[in-house]
Structure 1
Amino acid sequence: MAGRITALVMPKWGLEMREGRVAGWLVEEGARLEVGTPVIDVETDKISNAVEAPDPGLLRRKVARDGEMLPVKALLGVLAEADVPDAEVDAFVAAYEVPPADDAGEDEGPAYAWAEVDGIRVRYARRGPPAGVPVLFLHGYGGDLGNWLFNLDAVAAVAPVIALDLPGHGQSDARLPGASLADFAAFVAAFLAKIGVDRVHVVGHSMGGAIGAQLALDHPARVVSLALIDAAGLGAEINGDYTGGFARATSRRELKPVVEQLFADPTLASRRMVEDLLRYKRVDGVGALLDALQGTLFPNGRQADTPGLRLGESDAPLLVVWGAQDRVIPAAHAAQAPRRALVEVLQGAGHMAMMEKPGEVNTLLKRHIGA
């Protein structure tokens, strides 16, 4: 019976998500769905997003109710073709049980690991199959590995993944290996050596994209392929009001309008997101290191270095993804990528394209890595 029916379930977005609230259905029962069709909006304590159809079919049952708080893997709805009898659908709903949170297939091992590299302790996470070339995710300025909450599990379905809190970010030590892109690239290479990984597919967002480009130039044997998402390093222009405002903000009132610039839809800058960023910024040493990074990488509202423009020297396959409404780094920089790059500009997304258009970004990443 299960082979004829697809369960639409509460997703697990990020390593710490345990439940989500149903914000509203986007389609009616009986609607024909294709893979990737947005079906239902779900809110977490960090962000809201649409759950997409995992398979084609008809939406035969809405099980979850608007406003309901449900655990990860809870049944939201049922997809099946018209030739599946109603009684079979009803029996599937009645028999469905939410897998336990510690189900062996859900989380293998601890959520996070730690490594000390050149005297700096950094947090990272590993997911996915044990074999294959890992995909290394590098976040941007002021971010952390949680920026990939919509992407890690999707990519881990086809390859091992590693997500890192860069030095001075997230829960890693509030220390820098140096403030230049070359310093960070050398640190990432040393980190990979520390955890016993020789080669990776690199996925970098914003500053993390520039670090990934620098890694491909300075340590080419480490980089199998490179995917840049709204990346720094492909042009000189950058929104200095954002980088400077982020470094200077000390209150929610100051930080919220800055964070809103990250998204095409400013309402995605949730209260929890702003509070988490304020908590990070209040860690001893973080203010000084953000100032140091901004002064070195983005002085006077310009990008000091553009390693992405030198990627013609690299043989690594290159994917460039940009949000068309990016207000931090102009989407026009995508056209400045090397001619061999596959370039995709996504409408309706800003600087956080991997969070705003996760389905499209994940499809592009899996295709790029598989190729």
Structure 2
Amino acid sequence: MAGQITPLVMPKWGLEMREGTVAGWLVGEGTRIEVGTPVIDVETDKISNAVEAPDPGLLRRQVAKNGERRPVKALLGVLAEAEVPDAEIDAYIAAYEVPAAGDEAGEAGPAYDWAEVDGIRVRYARRGPDTGVPVLFLHGYGGDLGNWLFNLDALSAAAPVIALDLPGHGQSDARLPGTSLADLSAFVAAFLAKIGVDRVHLVGHSMGGAIGAQLALDHPERVASLALINPAGLGPEINGDYTRGFARASSRRELKPVVEQLFATPAMASRQMVDDLLKYKRVDGVGELLDALQGALFAAGRQADLPALRLAERGLPLLVVWGAQDRVIPAAHAGNAPPWATVQVLEGAGHMAMMEKASEVNALLKRHIGA
């Protein structure tokens, strides 16, 4: 029976998610769906997204109803072919038990770890197997490791993953090792040494992409491959109104329209997302730190350093992914990637392509790292 029935379950998006609300079914019972088909919209306190079909089949049951709040891994629906009797499906639903937290590999233990590097305390997370070259995720300007909430679990199934709150970001100390890409990449190299990691597949978003490219130039022995998502460092232009606005906004009214520029669909900038960013920005020293960082790296709408243009010096495996509707850094910069790079521009995504097109980005990352 289990081989003929596929459960649709409440996903775990990010390290802190415990439950989600069914916002609405996108397909009706009896609909044939393919792998990756969006089936049901789910809302969390942080963000909304669609649950996609893990396997092909017929949607035989909508178990969860609109508006219901259910824990992670709770049964939402059932896929099965027409020849599977209704009685077997009823029995499967009746017998289904939500796995206890920590039952799955990589979910036991604390959600976060901490390290002190050059006097700066930083937060990071580790997931996945104990062997293999880890995948290190670096977020962008004003972000944190939560920006990878749709990506960490997907990648940790096959490789160890590490996600870092860069200095001055997230829950790391509100201090910087310096405001240049060289300063920040040197800090990342020191962080890897501190936690005993010699070499990583580096995935960098926006400013994190430029830091990753700088790390590949300055410490090539540390970087096995590089994946850049909507990165800085491949062209001179950047939306200065966004970077200045983010640094200086001090109220919901000021910050919300700035954050909306990150997404092709502005509604993805949820109330909780804006509130969380305001809370972060009100930590002592963060506003000044962000202003100093954007002034050093992105003054007057121009990028001060373009390390990704110099990656030809290294020739390492390179993936470049961009949201076609990026309003922060032009997607046209993808055309500046080295000729051997794999380049993918995704329609329907803005600056946060790894959140807006998570399935496509995860598939690209798996192929890139696997190769």
Q: TM-score, normalised by structure 2?
A: 0.99
Are residues 1:349 and 2:349 paired?
yes
Q: Distance in 2 between matches of 1:64 and 1:364?
A: 31
Q: CA deviation at 1:309?
A: 0.7
Query: What amino acid maps onto 1:275 in structure 2?
Result: D
What's the counterpart of residue 79 of structure 2? 79
Q: How does 1:1-371 map to 2 (within 5 A)?
A: 1-105=1-105, 107-371=107-371
Q: Distance in 2 between matches of 1:287 and 1:3?
A: 54
Q: Distance in 1 between matches of 2:64 and 2:99?
A: 16
Q: Distance in 2 between matches of 1:31 and 1:317?
A: 41
Q: Distance in 2 between matches of 1:59 and 1:149?
A: 27
Which runs of at least 4 in structure 1 moved beyond 4 Å after TM superposition? none
Query: What amino acid maps onto 1:145 in structure 2?
Result: L
Q: CA deviation at 1:34?
A: 1.2
SS of residue paired to 1:70: strand
Contact 2:106 2:127 in 1 (8 A): no
Q: Distance in 2 between matches of 1:105 and 1:159?
A: 12
SS of residue paired to 1:3: coil
SS of residue paired to 1:28: coil
Q: Distance in 2 between matches of 1:159 and 1:123?
A: 20
Report the RMSD for the aligned CA atoms in angstroms. Answer: 0.8
Query: What amino acid maps onto 2:364 in structure 1?
Result: L
Q: Distance in 2 between matches of 1:265 and 1:196?
A: 40
Query: What amino acid maps onto 2:262 in structure 1?
Result: L
Q: Distance in 2 between matches of 1:202 and 1:61?
A: 41
Query: What amino acid maps onto 2:228 in structure 1?
Result: L
Higher mean C-alpha displacement, 271-280 vs 24-33: 24-33
SS of residue paired to 1:2: coil
SS of residue paired to 1:243: helix
SS of residue paired to 2:3: helix
Contact 2:247 2:290 in 1 (8 A): yes
SS of residue paired to 2:36: coil
Question: Relative to 1, partners in 2 of residues 1:270 and 1:208: Cα closer, same or farther, differing over 3 Å?
Answer: same
Q: CA deviation at 1:102?
A: 3.8
Higher mean C-alpha displacement, 76-85 vs 266-275: 76-85
- Render the CA deviation track for 1:199-222: whole Å, top value 9, x for unaligned: 000000000000000001110010
Q: Distance in 2 between matches of 1:333 and 1:30?
A: 44
SS of residue paired to 1:66: coil
Q: CA deviation at 1:315?
A: 2.4
Q: Distance in 1 between matches of 2:81 and 2:183?
A: 55
Q: Distance in 2 between matches of 1:30 and 1:219?
A: 54
Q: CA deviation at 1:106?
A: 6.4
Q: Distance in 2 between matches of 1:193 and 1:84?
A: 54
Q: Distance in 1 between matches of 2:308 and 2:72?
A: 39
Q: Distance in 1 between matches of 2:83 and 2:335?
A: 48
Q: CA deviation at 1:82?
A: 1.7
Q: CA deviation at 1:76?
A: 0.4
Contact 2:106 2:128 in 1 (8 A): no
SS of residue paired to 1:42: strand
Query: What amino acid maps onto 2:117 in structure 1?
Result: V
Q: CA deviation at 1:105?
A: 3.7
Q: What are the ranges of 5 or more consecutive residues in structure 1 without an aligned counterpart?
A: none
Query: What amino acid maps onto 1:72 in structure 2?
Result: V
- Render the CA deviation track for 1:299-331: whole Å, top value 9, x for unaligned: 111101101111111121000000000000000
- Render the CA deviation track for 1:135-182: whole Å, top value 9, x for unaligned: 000000000000000000000011100000000000000000100000
Q: Distance in 1 between matches of 2:104 and 2:202?
A: 28
Identity fraction in percent? 82
Q: Distance in 1 between matches of 2:104 and 2:137?
A: 24
SS of residue paired to 1:354: helix
Q: Distance in 1 between matches of 2:178 and 2:42?
A: 40
Question: Relative to 1, partners in 2 of residues 1:161 and 1:25: Cα closer, same or farther, differing over 3 Å?
Answer: same
Question: Relative to 1, partners in 2 of residues 1:146 and 1:68: Cα closer, same or farther, differing over 3 Å?
Answer: same
Question: Relative to 1, partners in 2 of residues 1:108 and 1:315: Cα closer, same or farther, differing over 3 Å?
Answer: farther
Q: TM-score, normalised by structure 1?
A: 0.99
Query: What amino acid maps onto 1:291 in structure 2?
Result: D
Q: Distance in 1 between matches of 2:296 and 2:125?
A: 28
Query: What amino acid maps onto 1:315 in structure 2?
Result: G
Q: What are the ranges of 5 or more consecutive residues in structure 2 without an aligned counterpart?
A: none
Query: What amino acid maps onto 1:324 in structure 2?
Result: A
